[in-house]
């Protein structure tokens, strides 16, 4: 497939797509307090406007809508990738590999669009109905405007404004959903606005031996364990780990003094040892992806015993739905554990959700139990890593070797998702293999190509 063919295909996808995404939340701002206005007509328009708001509300964000939103983002990303590829088209192997990845992505998007096509009829019907309603509203407003200009010239200006709003409203309907509102401040933190740092940037005692690993503090420590830090390196093939190293303070960790090692098993890998880097410590237990399965492992640091709970059968594991970007895949990152003010969550993707991210609350009982679950439109392979703050999931993506961007959020309270966050993280190494938020100090803990870092989250 040549580049020009890809462009044509993209344009076709776009055309098909814009036909299917019409009919999102539409709030038409109608205000007119002039007493000379014919009230009945205005009432009619207002009623229609209310209907418009009533029929298309955020509650109508069905699974289908979510899928469409996710697809839109993927198409946008493919377009960006094609532009990158064009710039780098020096006929070398990287270019060929990249082109193949884009081709596969396009094939997959086409396949999804095909599936969508059969189920969007009601949706389209709704869009057409709403567009007609808006048309009527506009006509009514034009009439009102005439009436107005005969009576009071002053109100003409206001009518123009309303007309403009209606046009804008229509355009939005034609284009895409308006971005959801900013998640409200919770946990007394205010709104997250930026990421400062790095604050800490250091190698561990293992120097550059292990590019995959994880570290941090227990988000809910036992009394006396508040200052402890843990470190896990995936010492076998950059995929598998079998022990947890702990230090009594940050400085002993940075200097590599006096560690305590706790082994899950003497062999590595074996049943219920660690697979992939995105684990967390909570309540003196380590939560991670169990070796070679789609289960959550809970390793009790006191009793050294493992309890497990299985995720849905079609959950990706063994690098089926890893974190990735165009240039690289973060192998065996199918499962990502996160901690926030309310406990532990597991982030994963399933075939039935088209490889898009799913969030499940992990109750930290023994054995652990999966509780509430949220499906998102976020395609997992376009993400580097995720973390949660106050019940809101944030996702980062690779921009270049120096910059990572927090671009996405999903609020588990309101189910609102956004793709327009624009918070940069200044990287010291190219890749981020592990990232997690510590609700105790509001720092992000990062493991990046054998280096350990912290960043400070800034709240408004």
Contact residues: ligand NAG, CB under 6 A: 16, 114, 117, 170-171, 174, 283, 285, 300, 302-303, 363-364, 366, 369, 371-372
User: In which element (H, E) is residue 286 found?
Assistant: strand 285-290
Q: Report the alpha-carbon distance of residue 188 to residue 175 in Å, rounded.
A: 36
Q: Report the alpha-carbon distance of residue 365 to residue 61 in Å, rounded.
A: 33
Q: Report the alpha-carbon distance of residue 43 to residue 399 in Å, rounded.
A: 50
Q: How far is CA 422 from CA 24, 394, 399, 454, in A?
A: 23, 11, 11, 19
Name the minimum Å distance from CB 414 to ligand NAG.
15
Name the minimum Å distance from CB 230 to ligand NAG.
15
Name the minimum Å distance from CB 423 to ligand NAG.
28
Name the minimum Å distance from CB 107 to ligand NAG.
14
- For ligand NAG, the closer of residues 187 and 200 by Cβ is 187
Which tokens go with 81? 């990738």
Give which of 398, 280, 254 is closest to 339, Cα–Cα.
280
- For ligand NAG, the closer of residues 90 and 171 by Cβ is 171
Q: 3-state DSSP call for residue 329?
A: strand
Give which of 328, 332, 294 is closest to 314, Cα–Cα.
294
- For ligand NAG, the closer of residues 41 and 124 by Cβ is 124
CB 428 within 8 A of CB 447: no
CB 349 within 8 A of CB 406: no
- For ligand NAG, the closer of residues 371 and 460 by Cβ is 371
Residue with tokens 């709104």: 191
- For ligand NAG, the closer of residues 22 and 397 by Cβ is 22
- For ligand NAG, the closer of residues 89 and 363 by Cβ is 363
- For ligand NAG, the closer of residues 249 and 372 by Cβ is 372
- For ligand NAG, the closer of residues 48 and 300 by Cβ is 300
Evaluated on CA atoms 317, 320, 326, 331, the torsion sign reads positive
Name the minimum Å distance from CB 166 to ligand NAG.
10
- For ligand NAG, the closer of residues 192 and 362 by Cβ is 362
User: In which element (H, E) is residue 77 found?
Assistant: helix 63-87
Name the minimum Å distance from CB 59 to ligand NAG.
20
Q: Report the alpha-carbon distance of residue 1 to residue 340 in Å, rounded.
A: 45
Name the minimum Å distance from CB 219 to ligand NAG.
12
Name the minimum Å distance from CB 370 to ligand NAG.
9
Name the minimum Å distance from CB 429 to ligand NAG.
33
- For ligand NAG, the closer of residues 119 and 251 by Cβ is 119
CB 62 within 8 A of CB 45: no
Which tokens go with 27? 């709030």
Q: How far is CA 34 from CA 28, 49, 138, 155, 158, in A?
A: 18, 19, 19, 7, 10
Q: Report the alpha-carbon distance of residue 82 to residue 116 in Å, rounded.
A: 24
Name the minimum Å distance from CB 417 to ligand NAG.
20
Name the minimum Å distance from CB 120 to ligand NAG.
8
Name the minimum Å distance from CB 428 to ligand NAG.
34
CB 445 within 8 A of CB 216: yes
H-type alpha helices, 152-231: 154-175
Angle formed by the axes of helices 63-87 and 93-119, to 10°?
Answer: 160
User: In which element (H, E) is residue 377 found?
Assistant: strand 369-379
Which tokens go with 75? 């198409």
Q: 3-state DSSP call for residue 36?
A: coil
- For ligand NAG, the closer of residues 13 and 324 by Cβ is 13
- For ligand NAG, the closer of residues 92 and 372 by Cβ is 372
Nearest-CB residue to ligand NAG? 366
């Amino acid at each position: 497939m040549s580049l020009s063919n890809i462009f044509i295909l993209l344009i076709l996808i776009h055309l098909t797509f814009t036909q299917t995404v019409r009919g999102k939340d539409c709030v038409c701002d109608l205000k007119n307090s002039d007493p000379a206005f014919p009230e009945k007509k205005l009432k009619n328009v207002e009623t229609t406007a209310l209907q418009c708001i009533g029929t298309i509300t955020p509650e109508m964000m069905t699974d289908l809508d979510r899928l469409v939103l996710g697809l839109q983002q993927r198409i946008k990303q493919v377009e960006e990738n094609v532009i990158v590829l064009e710039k780098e088209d020096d006929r070398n192997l990287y270019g060929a590999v990249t082109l193949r990845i884009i081709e596969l992505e396009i094939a997959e998007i086409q396949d999804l669009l095909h599936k969508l096509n059969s189920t969007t009829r009601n949706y389209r019907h709704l869009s057409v109905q709403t567009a007609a309603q808006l048309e009527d509203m506009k006509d009514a407003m034009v009439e009102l405007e005439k009436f107005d200009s005969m009576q009071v010239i002053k109100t003409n200006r206001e009518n123009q404004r309303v007309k403009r709003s209606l046009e804008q409203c229509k355009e939005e309907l034609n284009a895409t959903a308006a971005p959801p509102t900013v998640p409200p401040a919770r946990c007394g933190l205010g709104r997250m606005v930026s990421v400062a740092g790095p604050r800490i940037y250091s190698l561990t005692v293992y120097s550059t031996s292990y590019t995959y690993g994880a570290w941090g503090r227990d988000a809910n420590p036992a009394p006396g364990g508040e200052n402890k830090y843990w470190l896990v390196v995936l010492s076998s093939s950059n995929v598998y780990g079998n022990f947890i190293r702990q230090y009594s303070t940050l400085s002993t960790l940075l200097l590599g003094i006096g560690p305590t090692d706790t082994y899950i098993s003497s062999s590595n890998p074996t049943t219920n040892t660690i697979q992939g880097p995105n684990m967390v410590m909570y309540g003196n237990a380590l939560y991670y992806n169990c070796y070679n399965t789609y289960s959550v492992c809970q390793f009790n640091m006191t009793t050294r015993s493992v309890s497990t709970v299985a995720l849905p059968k079609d959950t990706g594991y063994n690098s089926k739905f890893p974190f990735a970007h165009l240039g690289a895949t973060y192998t065996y990152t199918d499962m990502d554990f996160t901690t926030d003010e309310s406990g532990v969550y597991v982030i994963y993707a399933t075939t039935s959700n088209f490889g898009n991210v799913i969030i499940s609350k992990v109750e930290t009982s023994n054995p652990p139990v999966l509780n509430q679950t949220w499906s998102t439109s976020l395609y997992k392979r376009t993400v580097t890593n995720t973390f949660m703050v106050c019940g809101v999931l944030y996702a980062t993506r690779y921009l270049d070797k120096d910059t990572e961007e927090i671009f996405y959020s999903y609020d588990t309270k309101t189910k609102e998702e956004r793709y327009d966050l624009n918070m940069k993280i200044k990287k010291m190494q190219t890749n981020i293999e592990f990232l997690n938020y510590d609700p105790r100090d509001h720092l992000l803990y990062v493991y990046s190509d054998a280096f350990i870092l912290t960043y400070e989250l800034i709240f408004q």
